[in-house]
Structure 1
Amino acid sequence: MDESWFCEQINNLIIQENRLSALSEIRMRLYEISDTSDVQLETLITDRLLSAPEFMECLNCKNEAKEQCELAADILSICMSHMSFEQNTLPTILEWTLTHPRSEIKSIVFNTILKQLERQRNNKKPVQISTELLIHILNGLKEEDCKVGVPAIGILTIVLEQHINEEGIKNKLLNMLTSDEIIKCRVYELGVNLAKQSATMLQQVEFLLDRALSELDNDDVLFQVNILEILVALAEQNHGLLYLENRQVFELISRRVENVDQNPIDQLLIPGIMKFFGKTASVQPQKVIVDYPHMIQCLFESILSGNISILPAAFDTFANLTQTKQGKQLLDQNYPVLTKVTFEALGSYLRNLSTDLKNRAFNTLEMVFTTDSSTAEIEALLQKWFKNLAGEESMQFLMDYCRNPFPDIKVACLSFIKSVCLHKWGLLALKNTAGFVEFLLDRKIEFDKEAKYKKFELISLLADSDVFDMQINLQLRTYVNEGPYFVQSIFDIATEGN
């Protein structure tokens, strides 16, 4: 098998009736070549295929030629995986696919380029593409379909660092900021991705970041929320946080919250603003909890209001605020009463909210009680917070949810209990809750696969602890050794009955 065989099959693509069989043969042979590691043959065939108008015609999908298009797309994907960025002819070869009218085709090319660049970067190899190919990728930002726009952001995040100071590239990016909000957001996200890399890189993309900040005065509230979402990633870096502070972004946003009564439309911004401050607090808790009390007050008010439209964002923000040890301590030191009332409210919400919000509340609590490392002070703090949920009977309260007939609630509750049992006081609370261990060990009452596995994870954690007596420990170990989906045989059950 050589290049001439492929040329013959490409010629067969001219005849409509021969296309399916020819495409099937080509695809099968390309897989075979991949196994032989004949790089030179791969390159020759890839160049020939992607330069053939006959093959490109097969990518023009019509309803009656769906199978043909799928085969051609598979072949394109295989060919793309064999391409090398060192090829000078690459932009010319790919031009048809990079400018193809079908976004699905462009998506294959963009995603394959992204994977190859990520692989090169991970292998510490130099990552470069030609200016011609770079222009095609930049044009991908303007594609309506996110299947093209999103990988374009990924590619440019990797390769644009070396080109960002080129006047033509800057002008192209600035021209995109005269487009609609979707394209603007892609450009701003790209700017933030680049700025995160280093303080030097941030300086080079300030022309994009400053434009993004100016959008916070936009009349479109939804657009402002999207901008805040994008800027969160910048606040997670020290040099990014410094830039935002110098531009007084935190003060600007905080004032919007303080003066929300004067401009009721800003109420719609509250979830996005909370998310921004919450994500920042997950890495910079001191900055948010101490310096912006109005934001913390707004968070507590949002949780305690019971407004179901804002509760999801409030739950997530509270989880982010308490994600670090410092965040937990600062919240308890500065807002002990409000924190206590919030946990009491969460306990109440678990009784009264809709199923999806109950699950969200459980997920929040799981994040709060999950810690990578701990101290005696943190352990005492978390134990106090746990008791605030439902008093001394908090574990019994949770056990009732483990009996819930809805699997998703049961799974969410078991996940939370597992996070509580990462702590010695949590293990003791479960041990001292009458019937809880027996309930967990009873396989006959569980039918949902995910719930079975979540229960197995919890029991595995209990089995590794030292709080149970020898008999219970043996039962826990036996359960773990049998696995999550063990079913006792009818014979064994009958024997037990006798």
Structure 2
Amino acid sequence: MDLPLATLIERLRVDEDTLPILLQVKAFVVAATSSAIKNIVKASHLHYLFNCLHTNDREQIEVTCFILNSLLPIVDPLEVLMQLSQSIQNGLTHQSDVVRHLALKELGRIITTVEGAGALSESPEVIRQTVKLIADEDMSVASAAVNFLSDYGCTSPNIARTLLSHDPESSLETLKAVMSKSDAIRYRVFEVVCNIQSESQEMLDLCIDSGIISHLVKELSDDDVLLRVTCCAMLADMASSQHSLNYLEQAGVVSKMVEMLKNSHLEPFSDLYIPGVLKFFGNLCMYSGPQQVVDMYPGFCDTLFNIFHSNEPSNKQVAIETIGVIGIIDEGKLILVDQGQKCVSFVKEICRIMSSGAQDMRLRAVNVMGQLLDHRQVNPEKVDAVLPITLSWYKLISSTPMDTILSLCKQPFLAIRCSGFHLLNTIAGCSWGIEAMSDFPTMTEYLLDRSTESDKASKEAKYEVVQTLVQSPRFAHVFGNQNYLKFRQFVKEGPFYVESELSTAIEEA
């Protein structure tokens, strides 16, 4: 180890006036590069630093944590666990939130390897103490504990068992004890378990056996509206994998959600939990298809359009996103068009928002319009049935749809500008879209003009449009062979090509 740093850290062992020494160590660490001290600093050297945390002096704690945060990442995590396990455990119970954060951060680094997670599973007391931090008064510490335990539990089924099995050595009883402290803390535990179950059927089975998942499902019927809001949102997130959806259907959650949606007009506070219900059905549409949802609840689309036209912004946003999820596949497009005038009114309103709504709503509207017009997930056998539908929706954008879309591509706001290019890229993938783009004056010049975009994201987004056009077998026929060669050269040069003054002068000559 470098002598000056070694001497300073050694002095921490014997010198009672530690803060001045720590400040010198900090200065040394700030000045040195990590490569200069890598493979030199060992876990045993850090023991003296951890001892400096046994104080009530806030400045000394913060300086020590700064040094440890700088040095720990260059030490082998297994070495840290083997030699500093007690120091880490002491950090989890420290009175300072800064130290508790440090300990959780280091545990998170340890489990980035399978070996580290496996070794940590041999320290059940450390895990139990981490579980207790779910109830920490400092919300950021509690959130860090939730994130760590989620990542730890997702490592493998064997690791998950150390948390959720009924074995005396597991942390299940500690989890249940923490759950009993308050509603908010109980939902933090639910979050950990929901994150773990998403990994696989085996993980889900472990979570079911623990009894915690069934506890969450029961809360869907709770009379406390605020609890129901949180429960709906969590179950919607849980319904993001097929094995989870299968369980939720068997547990009666799907039928309960249908009932809640049907009776939403009778509940005075339904606006609070409807977004979670809609998100749940959006996930169900993604994994099981929108037709299954419509079969279970024939009035689903009617309810969805009614919620979209409500005055509640959060409900409106989720309704927009749910309709987009439905409309991205051919089955969904056919279901939506069967709604007749309600669907037409929806598309018209989306187009209005797309052109003149608030920025966040405009982004959602442009994205949903892209999903409605998208043909990438359309079954080839149904293309002929879907093309007239998407063309009719395109014509609803405005009296001059292509002009409206290009105006989005020229917006000063980067997110809207890129979403405009993504919508244009979607249209470039349609047979009628290529013709619409070819018929628009100056379209060729605009797409080939590299000077219109100055940022990386926009250059890439425009490049994708040109690339999609070149890949179309109909492009040369529609745009002409000369333009095809120009577009192909554009693609060959890449998104960030800059013309030299010489080549420009030659072209102009």
| Superposition TM-score tier, normalisation by shorter sequence | 0.7 to 0.9
- The one-letter amino acid paired with 2:68 is A
Q: Which residue in 2 is equivalent to 1:390? A: 395
1:10–1:55: 8 Å Cα contact kept in structure 2? no
Q: Does 1:114 align with 2:114?
A: no
Q: Which residue in 1 is equivalent to 2:386? A: 381
1:23–1:72: 8 Å Cα contact kept in structure 2? no
Q: Does 1:358 align with 2:351?
A: no
Superposed counterparts of 1:413-452, under 5 Å: 413-452=420-459
Q: Which residue in 2 is equivalent to 1:39? A: none
2:193–2:207: 8 Å Cα contact kept in structure 1? yes
Counterpart selection for 1:94 from 60, 63, 88:
88
2:52–2:64: 8 Å Cα contact kept in structure 1? no
Mean Cα deviation higher: 205-214 or 160-169: 160-169
1:452–1:484: 8 Å Cα contact kept in structure 2? yes
Mean Cα deviation higher: 4-13 or 259-268: 4-13
Q: CA deviation at 1:57?
A: 5.3
Q: Which residue in 1 is equivalent to 2:182? A: 180
String of CA shifts for 1:243-286, please: whole Å, max 9, x gaps. Answer: 32233222222222222232221122222211111122211224
1:195–1:202: 8 Å Cα contact kept in structure 2? yes
How has the CA–CA distance of structure 1 residues 129 and 318 changed in structure 2, closer, same or farther, with 3 Å as cutoff?
A: farther
1:349 is paired with a residue whose SS is: helix
Partners of 1:424 and 1:414 lie apart in 2 by 18
Partners of 2:48 and 2:224 lie apart in 1 by 46
Q: CA deviation at 1:318?
A: 1.5
2:191–2:234: 8 Å Cα contact kept in structure 1? yes
Partners of 1:214 and 1:182 lie apart in 2 by 16
Q: CA deviation at 1:473?
A: 1.8
1:343–1:385: 8 Å Cα contact kept in structure 2? no
Q: CA deviation at 1:141?
A: 1.8
2:61–2:99: 8 Å Cα contact kept in structure 1? no
Q: CA deviation at 1:385?
A: 2.2
Partners of 1:307 and 1:4 lie apart in 2 by 64
Q: Which residue in 2 is equivalent to 1:161? A: 161
Partners of 1:92 and 1:82 lie apart in 2 by 14
Residue ranges of structure 1 left out of the alignment (5+ in a row): 37-41
String of CA shifts for 1:293-350, please: whole Å, max 9, x gaps. Answer: 3333221222344754432111211222234455445555x64654444323322332
How has the CA–CA distance of structure 1 residues 276 and 78 changed in structure 2, closer, same or farther, with 3 Å as cutoff?
A: same
1:329–1:378: 8 Å Cα contact kept in structure 2? no
Q: Which residue in 1 is equivalent to 2:69? A: 73
How has the CA–CA distance of structure 1 residues 108 and 421 changed in structure 2, closer, same or farther, with 3 Å as cutoff?
A: farther
- The one-letter amino acid paired with 1:289 is V
Counterpart selection for 1:317 from 314, 319, 322:
322
Partners of 2:50 and 2:118 lie apart in 1 by 34
TM-score (norm 1): 0.83
Partners of 1:346 and 1:280 lie apart in 2 by 23
Q: Percent identity?
A: 20
- The one-letter amino acid paired with 1:140 is L
How has the CA–CA distance of structure 1 residues 341 and 93 changed in structure 2, closer, same or farther, with 3 Å as cutoff?
A: same
TM-score (norm 2): 0.81
Q: Does 1:20 align with 2:13?
A: no
Counterpart selection for 1:246 from 244, 247, 250:
250
1:289–1:296: 8 Å Cα contact kept in structure 2? yes
2:366–2:419: 8 Å Cα contact kept in structure 1? yes
- The one-letter amino acid paired with 1:177 is M
2:110–2:117: 8 Å Cα contact kept in structure 1? no
Mean Cα deviation higher: 407-416 or 394-403: 394-403
Residue ranges of structure 2 left out of the alignment (5+ in a row): none
How has the CA–CA distance of structure 1 residues 129 and 344 changed in structure 2, closer, same or farther, with 3 Å as cutoff?
A: farther
Q: Which residue in 2 is equivalent to 1:11? A: 11
Partners of 1:53 and 1:457 lie apart in 2 by 52
Q: CA deviation at 1:74?
A: 1.4
String of CA shifts for 1:372-420, please: whole Å, max 9, x gaps. Answer: 5741414641552243232595334423433445443222111111123
Superposed counterparts of 1:13-412, under 5 Å: 14=15, 15-25=18-28, 28=32, 31-32=35-36, 34-35=38-39, 45-50=42-47, 54-56=51-53, 61-62=58-59, 69-79=65-75, 81-83=77-79, 87=82, 91-120=85-114, 128-143=121-136, 144-145=139-140, 146-158=143-155, 159-164=159-164, 165-166=166-167, 169-199=171-201, 201-206=203-208, 207-285=211-289, 286-305=291-310, 308-332=313-337, 335=339, 338-368=342-372, 369=374, 371=376, 374-378=379-383, 380-381=385-386, 384-391=389-396, 393-412=400-419
Partners of 2:245 and 2:314 lie apart in 1 by 29
Q: CA deviation at 1:360?
A: 1.2
Q: CA deviation at 1:60?
A: 6.0
| Root mean square deviation, CA, Å | 3.7
How has the CA–CA distance of structure 1 residues 110 and 155 changed in structure 2, closer, same or farther, with 3 Å as cutoff?
A: farther
Partners of 1:444 and 1:163 lie apart in 2 by 57
Partners of 1:157 and 1:7 lie apart in 2 by 42
Partners of 2:296 and 2:249 lie apart in 1 by 12
Partners of 2:96 and 2:117 lie apart in 1 by 34
Query: What is the number of equivalent residue pairs in this alignment?
Result: 486
